[in-house]
Structure 1
Amino acid sequence: MLGELLRPIGPGAAGWADRLIGEFGSLGAALAAPPAAQQRVLGEEQRVVAWLATLRSAMLHALRREALQGPVLGDSDAVTDYLFAAMAHEPVEQLRVLYLNTRNRLLLDETVIEGSVNVAPIYPREIVRRSLEVGATALILAHNHPSGDPKPSREDVRLTRLVATAGEPLDIRLHDHVIVARSGWISLRAAGYL
């Protein structure tokens, strides 16, 4: 598949695809890899890296549009697919917040924190403050685990509960916190942590 996607760039498509899949393991991981990592694999093939960035942007745009055009809670599978594609293969932890209105329509999708390979600090006060700025009445938190295991840590659960508690007096509801990783995802609400 990756070879076919790279074919418009030139006759080296099959070789580029083999090198990328060999390094990153899958089409999704190859597309999600940072440009610098792709460049290390491909050498001087800067046009291939630019093409991969365009492909990834198109894929995320399509998934985001499908997932977030109506009420977000109306199609949780589409939202999870979008979050998985956007974050599962990122090399560092990110915290993304989906700010929703009273009809659960998206007001803002924002990456609020980029951390290290295993830490993305969550600041409940800042999340609630930003919710008030954009007029959000509900939130969905999402972050990734670059380790590949979506299992929440004690700190993930503790901070999620702090965000939920901080929003309550201001009528800002935390609908869920989704953790994504290469091996899958977990909803803290479905798992009983919220």
Structure 2
Amino acid sequence: MTKPAVAVAEEPQHYLGHRERLRARFLKGGGEALADYELLELVLFRAIPRRDVKPLAKTLLARFGSFAEVVSARPERLREIDGLGEAAITELKIVAEAVKRFAKIRVESRPAMGSFSAVLDYCRTAMAYLDREEFRILFLDKKNLLIADEVQATGTIDHAPVYPREIMRRAFELNATAIILIHNHPSGDPSPSQADIQLTRQIVSLGKSLNVAVHDHLIIAREGFASFKGLQLI
């Protein structure tokens, strides 16, 4: 005689109530009401709808250090995390790009040299948590308005190849009359190296001969920033 089938109870989806409570806390108190791992959970909810993502969020923080460092991490490094698929990585990179574009609006809408804090905020958003050195240039017009923001070179953890003549060639193509040089130090220390100082002097000298002003060179790092103009190195 065949025994009747026994119904198997589904595993309670306890995380569903947690998600609703977390969303409610965010809507009521904003991001400041949430810890970094909870904010990461909110980002991951859309990409991973049927799983408790709290352990994954905490794993990401343990690997990279902070919310900002997680969303800034390169996709290839994020793929090293078990359980983090392409959809979730896309969500994280969307957040990073949205933050960068929001900060950039403040730079584009006002003269760069009249809104140093906006320029600095944008640069820190775009570069402070990168794990490779990147050399970026802001090209400005006669009113110091932003014409273009371009990454000139991407390198290793402590070097990005930069060529002064290529910088000036690009300035002429864009009809820029001034530039701001920016690069990051993945080590976390923004102090200029002798190589940084020497390169900057070469660019400044070449710019003077071509009537392209170098307003500043900013070094961005997790622990702060250095301004060549502020340090009287320009």
* TM-score, structure 2 normalization: 0.79
Q: 2: CA distance between counterparts of 1:44 and 1:52? A: 11
- Give the alignment of 1:50-69 within 5 angstroms: 50-69=90-109
Unaligned runs of 5+ in 1: none
Conserved 8 A contact 1:4-1:13? no
Q: Confirm whether residue 70 of structure 1 aligns to residue 133 of structure 2.
A: no
In the superposition, relative to structure 1, how do residues 38 and 104 fare at CA in structure 2: closer, same or farther (>3 Å)?
same
RMSD between superposed Cα atoms in Å: 1.3
Equivalence for 2:45: 7
Q: CA deviation at 1:158?
A: 1.0
1:77-125: CA deviation from partner (whole Å, max 9, x where unpaired): 1111111111111121111000000000011100011111111122111
Task: Tell me the secondary structure at the aligned position of residue 41 of structure 1.
Answer: coil
Conserved 8 A contact 1:124-1:166? yes
Task: Tell me the secondary structure at the aligned position of residue 152 of structure 1.
Answer: coil
1:116 to 134, 138, 156: 156
Q: 2: CA distance between counterparts of 1:6 and 1:29? A: 15
1:147 to 182, 187, 191: 187
1:36-93: CA deviation from partner (whole Å, max 9, x where unpaired): 1111124452211011111111111111112222211121111111111111111211
Unaligned runs of 5+ in 2: 1-38
Q: 2: CA distance between counterparts of 1:60 and 1:98? A: 15
* TM-score, structure 1 normalization: 0.95
Q: Confirm whether residue 17 of structure 1 aligns to residue 57 of structure 2.
A: yes
Pick the structure with greater CA Rg: 2
- Give the alignment of 1:160-171 within 5 angstroms: 160-171=200-211
Task: Tell me the secondary structure at the aligned position of residue 136 of structure 1.
Answer: coil
Range 134-143 or range 68-77, more displaced? 68-77
Aligned residues: 194
1:32 to 72, 92, 115: 72
Q: 2: CA distance between counterparts of 1:13 and 1:184? A: 32
In the superposition, relative to structure 1, how do residues 178 and 42 fare at CA in structure 2: closer, same or farther (>3 Å)?
farther
Q: 2: CA distance between counterparts of 1:193 and 1:148? A: 21
Conserved 8 A contact 1:96-1:109? yes
Conserved 8 A contact 1:113-1:120? yes
Range 12-21 or range 98-107, more displaced? 12-21
Structure 1 stretches of at least 4 aligned residues deviating more than 6 Å after TM superposition:
none
